[in-house]
Amino acid sequence: MSHMFIFGMGYSASRLAQRLRADGWQVRGTGRAGDVDFADTATVHAALADATHVLSSVPPDRTTGLDPVLTQYADILRTAPARWIGYLSSTGVYGDAGGAWVDEASVVGTGRRNARTEADLVWQALDSRVRVLRLPGIYGPGRSALDRVRDGTAKRIAMPDQVFSRVHVDDITGGVIASFDGPAGVYNLGDDLPCSQNRVIEAASRLLGAPIPPLQSLEEANLSPMALGFYAENRRVSNGKAKRLLGWQLAYPDYEAGLAAILRGGGKA
């Protein structure tokens, strides 16, 4: 039996666990949906000794900037018998590209996500089995523009040239699984249609038959510091390497397909 151990069973990793269990895998992990206490080193070591695959979706600590998994378990990961090790990183490592395309060969570490960039690079250097999967904005059931339109928090910002990439949570699952048999390395997992956040909000409003929110300036929108950071960077993320080398196929190649699937009942998993 294949056995996945996951550090950080949050939204995306839990969706992956659901799919793997349906396919007959044993899945254990830490985090809010996991069954192992991250600080219980003996149990974690025992689980890693049994794991055929290991994934971390834990971001760097906001206070220290350090990656908790690397800090606590790097040595055991290097000697663990797993044939595959994965890390869910962020396309935020590319920083602001002024709306241009970025790919895995683009410079990293020029943006606001310095701790994430450092973790990304250390994971790459950890072991020859590592796949670093860089994710843009994640959406899916319970976490999409549809929810924001429904609860009245959706905003359209008057920044006509601002472009983002995004990916449906089930396509993250598909990308992780595709990487099991693909070469180690770094891969972007974004959909085929980077575009403004306004277009996504407009599509969600149409699907729900709801009024389209008015355009606002950044100041009028009164965004959180995290959301303001989101609007501080502008880029299109290329997914060609994952398609070529992993054979990754998108179930939801653009936001319209993804939102429509969520509205129908939640996606594939």
The 10s digit of each residue's pLDDT in 153-197 is 999 999 989 999 999 999 999 999 999 999 999 999 999 999 999
Does residue 81 surpass a pLDDT of 80? Answer: yes
pLDDT of amino acid 224: 87
Burial of 214 by CB count in 10 Å (0-12 exposed, 13-18 middle, 19+ buried)? exposed
Cα(248)–Cα(86) distance, rounded to whole angstroms?
16
pLDDT at 112 over 80: no
Taking 80 as the threshold, does the pLDDT of residue 32 lie above it? Answer: yes
The first and second tokens of residue 64, run together, are 């220290």
Residue 186 confidence (pLDDT): 98
Q: Which helix (H) or strand (E) holds 43?
A: helix 41-50
Given a cut of 70, whether residue 269 has pLDDT beyond it is no
Q: What is the pLDDT of residue 227?
A: 83
Provide Rg for the chain, Cα atoms: 19
The rounded mean pLDDT for the chain is: 95
Pairing of strands 53-56, 137-139: unpaired
Residue 266: predicted pLDDT: 56
Residue 268 has pLDDT above 70, yes or no: no
Question: How far apart (Å, rounded) are the C-alpha atoms in residues 59 and 67?
Answer: 6
Q: Hey, what's the torsion of the CAs at 117, 120, 125, 127, to 10 degrees?
A: 170
pLDDT above 80: residue 219: yes
Q: What percent of the chain has pLDDT over 90?
A: 90
CB 31, CB 188: distance < 8 Å: no
Per-residue pLDDT, averaged over 130-150, amounts to 97
